[in-house]
Amino acid sequence: MSQDDQEAVDRAKWEAIEEPVELLHEEKFHEALAALHVVLLEDPKNYYAYHFLGVALYEVKELEGARDAFRACTALAPQHLGASIALANVLRETGDPQGALKEALRAHGLKNEDGDALHAVGMAYVALGDRVSARRYLNAFMDKKPEFEVGVEVQALLDAFDQEAAANRTN
């Protein structure tokens, strides 16, 4: 397939999900889910639809469904950074820190300077109890000047690591 043909296919897949994405922006998650299912019935290989299906399922707290949707997206579009990062985070949240680390490292390999990928790797290492590796990735994440809220959370985590290390040195 030529580059132009691939771009046309990609554009058509994106256009098919514009309405469901608008519903997501409006926080109409159940309506978005229904609309995304229709898109996927018409085009079961629409990786954008799987990505946003994962987002919608995550928002309604259906983590296993979100995990499966993000996996479907990454299976169809292995270079989809957002789905890979989201999959890593959902795997961590569902109690699979090894799977989370594997996926986070894959995302980091797709774009090693991406702040969200650095965060996903760092948090996977936190879940695994590897403070040294977590610190390395979370400090790199902080160097990216993240949004205020997540930056505060990560800084608090790094401060807790420092306090833990100081307590261990005095004992």
Domains 1-77 and 88-171 belong to one CATH topology? yes
Q: Which residue has the tokens 């996926």?
A: 103
Instruction: Give me the amino acid identity at 107.
Output: A
Binned at pLDDT 50, 70 and 90, residue 1 comes out as confident
Measured over all CA atoms, what is the biggest interatomic distance in the chain, rounded to whole angstroms?
Answer: 65
Comparing 14-18, 57-61, 165-169, which segment has the lowest mean pLDDT? 165-169
Q: Is the pLDDT of residue 15 over 90?
A: yes
Rg (CA), the chain: 18
Could you tell me the pTM of the whole model?
0.92
Quote the CA–CA distance of 58 and 71 in Å, as a whole number: 13
- Helices marked H in the chain: 3-16, 18-25, 29-42, 47-59, 63-76, 81-93, 97-110, 115-128, 131-143, 148-170
* Average pLDDT for 64-79: 97
Give me the chain's average pLDDT, please.
96
Q: Is the pLDDT of residue 146 over 90?
A: yes
Q: Give CB contacts under 8 A, 24+ apart, made by 128-131.
A: 128/97, 128/98, 128/101, 131/161, 131/164, 131/165
* Average pLDDT for 142-155: 96
* Average pLDDT for 140-146: 97
Class for domain 88-171, per CATH? mainly alpha
> Is the pLDDT higher at 4 or at 34?
34
Binned at pLDDT 50, 70 and 90, residue 106 comes out as very high
* Average pLDDT for 75-87: 97
Q: Where are the domains of the chain?
A: 1-77, 88-171
pLDDT at position 169 is: 83
Q: Is the pLDDT of residue 30 over 90?
A: yes
Domain 1-77 has CATH 3.40.50.720: no
